[in-house]
Amino acid sequence: MVPLLLRYVSVLCIAFCFSCKKLDTKIDVPAYLSVPYYTVQYSGNYTNGGPGTTHHNFTDIDVSVNGTNIGIFPIPARIPIQNAGSNRISIKPVIKVNGVATVRADYAPIRLVDTVLTLEAGKATTFIPKFDYYPTGVTFYWVEDFEFAGSSLVGDNAIVLQSAEKFEGNRAVKIELQNGQTNCTAFSSTLLPLPNTSEMLYLEVNYKCNQKFTVGLTNSSHSDIREVGGANASDEWKKIYFFLTPAASNLPTYPAYYVYFNFHNDGTVQNDNPRLFIDNIKVLSQP
C-alpha cells in the first residue's frame, strides 16, 4: 500500500512540475492623450445662416480610437489609450442639456474633430481640438448678439438694450422688474419656421441673473405655451443649451413658433430689483 501511495505522489509531483509556468507579471503601459482645453474657430462658410459668437460651454469630450468609442471624459482630460503608435482619434464635444449636470449629450451641430496621432507608451501627447459647426446640414433660425441698433428680442418696457453689462461685444439685453412689475415675457420679434422633425433643435444663450428664468416656444397666438426649461440665479455670465425638439415636435405642431424668455418675480430677491441679462442668442438645428 505504501509503495503504491509513493508512486501516486511521485506522478502528481512530476505532472505539477511539467504543467507549471512562470507567472507573467508584465503589465502593458498605456499611452496618454492630454486635452487641456479646446478652441472654436468658424470657417465662415455656412449654407443656412451665420454662426454668431464663438463662445461655447463644452463640459466633456466623447472620444473614439480607431473607430471604437472609449468613453466620455471631463475637460481638461488625460485619457489612457492602450495601443501606442499611430491611432485615429475622433473627438465630439459634450454639453449639459438644459443645464442639467446629469443629462449630457454630444452637441450634434458641432462637427467632430478627426485626426491621426502617434502615441508613445507611458507618455502624454497633448492635442487641442478645434471645433466648428458643420458647414452644411446645420440651419440657423435666429442669431442675435445685440451688436447692432435695435433688438430682435421684444416684449414690454422692461426689456432694454444696454452696454453697461454684457458678456462680450458692446451690448446685451437687460430685463428688470421694477415699480411693482411682477412678470415680463420677451419674444423673438418674428415667428421662426422651426422643424418638427429635427432630432436636434437647440437654443443657445449667455445669461446672468439674480433669480430664475424660463424659456420655451409658443404658437402665433400665444395660446399654446410650451416651456422647455430654465436656469437658476447666477452672479456670473454662463452659457446654456436648451433642447427644443420635444416642444417643437409635440402635437399639435405649427408651421412656426416664437421663442420666449419668461422672467417672473418669485420673491427671492430682497432689497433689489429682479434682473436678467441676455446675450448671444442662437436657435439652430441639425437633422
Q: What is the DSSP string of 35-76?
A: E---EE---S--SSS----------EEEEEETTEEEEEEESS
CB-based contact 283:259 (threshold 8 Å): yes
The residues that bridge with 95 in the sheet, in sequence order, are 105
Local structure of 196: helix, strand or coil: coil
Local structure of 96: helix, strand or coil: strand
| End position of a domain, from candidates 131, 149, 168 | 131
Mean pLDDT, range 92-105, rounded to an integer: 96
Q: What is the pLDDT of residue 26?
A: 53
Average pLDDT, the chain: 91
CB-based contact 220:194 (threshold 8 Å): no
Q: What is the pLDDT of residue 32?
A: 98
For the record, the C-alpha cell of 176 comes out as 428688470
Residue-number span of the structural domain to which 104 is assigned: 31-131
Residue scoring higher pLDDT (138 or 270) = 138
Q: What is the pLDDT of residue 8?
A: 36
* Among the ranges given (7-16, 65-74, 103-112, 259-268), the one the predictor scored with the smallest mean pLDDT: 7-16
List all residues 6 or more positions away from 246 whose beta carbon is below 8 Å from its beta carbon.
228
Q: What is the pLDDT of residue 150?
A: 85
Same domain for 180 and 126?
Answer: no
Residue scoring higher pLDDT (24 or 213) = 213
| End position of a domain, from candidates 79, 98, 131 | 131
| Cα–Cα distance measured from residue 276 to residue 262, given in angstroms and rounded to the nearest whole number | 10
Dump pLDDT digits (tens) for 56-71: 999 999 999 999 999 9
Establish if 11 belongs to a structural domain: no
Where does residue 118 rank: exposed (0-12), middle (13-18), buried (19+ CB within 10 A)? Answer: exposed
CATH number of the domain within which 201 lies: 2.60.120.430
| Cα–Cα distance measured from residue 248 to residue 284, given in angstroms and rounded to the nearest whole number | 12
Same domain for 151 and 237?
Answer: yes
Q: How many domains does the chain have?
A: 2
Q: Is the pLDDT of residue 22 over 60?
A: no
Q: What is the pLDDT of residue 1?
A: 43
Same domain for 101 and 164?
Answer: no
Give CA separation, 138 vs 48, 110, 160, 179, 286, in Å. 7, 9, 31, 43, 5
Same domain for 36 and 169?
Answer: no
Dump pLDDT digits (tens) for 244-262: 999 999 999 999 999 999 9
Mean pLDDT, range 161-179, rounded to an integer: 96
Dump pLDDT digits (tens) for 125-169: 999 999 999 988 999 999 999 998 889 999 999 999 999 999 999
Q: Is the pLDDT of residue 45 over 60?
A: yes
* Per-residue pLDDT band at 17 (split at 50, 70, 90): very low
Q: Is the pLDDT of residue 107 over 60?
A: yes
Q: What is the pLDDT of residue 142?
A: 96
Q: What is the pLDDT of residue 62?
A: 98
The residues that bridge with 74 in the sheet, in sequence order, are 60
Same domain for 143 and 282?
Answer: yes
CB-based contact 255:224 (threshold 8 Å): no
Where does residue 272 rank: exposed (0-12), middle (13-18), buried (19+ CB within 10 A)? Answer: exposed
CB-based contact 193:141 (threshold 8 Å): yes
Establish if 148 belongs to a structural domain: yes
* Among the ranges given (46-50, 80-84, 119-123, 223-227), the one the predictor scored with the smallest mean pLDDT: 46-50
What's the CA dihedral at 129, 133, 137, 140 to 10 degrees?
A: 160
| Cα–Cα distance measured from residue 173 to residue 169, given in angstroms and rounded to the nearest whole number | 12
CB-based contact 188:265 (threshold 8 Å): no
